[in-house]
Amino acid sequence: MPRRDVPAPVIEGVIFLLFAALLVPAGVVGWVIGDSGKSTTAAPVVSTTATAAVSPSVASGAHIFVQFACAQCHGPQGRGGVSPYVPALTNAAKTLQPSELRTIINHGLGESANPTKPYMPVWGEVISKTQVADLVAFIRAGLPRVADTQPVSVPRGQGAAVAGAALYVRYGCINCHGPNGLGGVPNPLSADKSIPPLSGQAFRGEFNTDAKIAAVIRSGSVIGKAPIVSMPHWGGILSSAQIAELIAYLKTLK
């Protein structure tokens, strides 16, 4: 017997959504392939499960929300609870218009170098227009739960550097400083024109003690106004133990 009450387009849609959810972490390229391959089913999907039905853009936004560590500051599904200085986004989902959300994401908010008070980083040069649109769609949809959006877990009992390597991904350092701290991410209006690497002789020479590295991770470094991307500060978000693990990882980089 064929399954009752589930018209073929719905099954196809659900399959597409699962398919998209697998492709999105691979990035925009994977996304475009998945999307163009099934363009006729790209309309909002009617789900038969208890999870909220979400459009491909919302599903993509849910992944980007984890990839760029929005979830590490604003809490899973933007529910807050990480730091008293970082608001939950449930209210913004209801009150802020798409254009206001875009401006906040692109330009940041409340920038400061006070290490105990995290601010909203500037993302405009780091997150593509499509990705920002997907984030806005996700927030406006009420930040629903989407399958397979768990952040990378941090292995325990394998040493500080292994934990630090996972934290480097979990807290989104990798998006700005590149895989293995190689740098090269554009920051066109900054003096260096790009976000600095966290490896190599220049870095090692300037940041030659654990204390110096810890200080910049805690306090960040406001190097100009948006759209210049500054180093967010993670004091109040990352614990001293997590910062020590990140430093142990950075030391393994050439």
Judged by the rule CB under 6 A, the positions of this chain that interact with ligand HEC are 68-70, 73-74, 85-87, 89, 91-92, 101, 104-105, 109-110, 118-121, 123, 126, 135, 171-173, 175-177, 187, 195-196, 198, 203, 207, 213, 216-217, 221, 223, 229-232, 234, 237, 246
- Residues 134/215, Cβ–Cβ less than 8 Å: no
Smallest distance, ligand HEC to C-beta of residue 216, A: 4
Smallest distance, ligand HEC to C-beta of residue 244, A: 11
Smallest distance, ligand HEC to C-beta of residue 46, A: 27
| Cβ proximity to ligand HEC, 33 vs 109, nearer residue | 109
Taken in order 174, 179, 184, 185, is the CA torsion positive or negative? negative
**Which residue's Cβ lies closest to ligand HEC?**
110
Taken in order 238, 117, 105, 174, is the CA torsion positive or negative? negative
Smallest distance, ligand HEC to C-beta of residue 243, A: 8
| Cβ proximity to ligand HEC, 146 vs 231, nearer residue | 231
Burial status of residue 117 (CB atoms within 10 A of its CB: 0-12, 13-18, 19 or more) = middle
| Cβ proximity to ligand HEC, 50 vs 211, nearer residue | 211
* C-alpha distance from residue 166 to each of 15, 76, 174, 179, 233 (Å): 30, 18, 10, 12, 19
Smallest distance, ligand HEC to C-beta of residue 248, A: 11
Which residues have a Cβ under 8 Å from the Cβ of 238 and sit 6 or more positions away? Answer: 167, 171, 217, 218, 246
- DSSP-derived secondary structure letter, 49: S
| Cβ proximity to ligand HEC, 9 vs 197, nearer residue | 197
* C-alpha distance from residue 25 to each of 56, 142, 177, 178, 181 (Å): 13, 21, 18, 16, 20
| Cβ proximity to ligand HEC, 156 vs 193, nearer residue | 193
| Cβ proximity to ligand HEC, 6 vs 109, nearer residue | 109
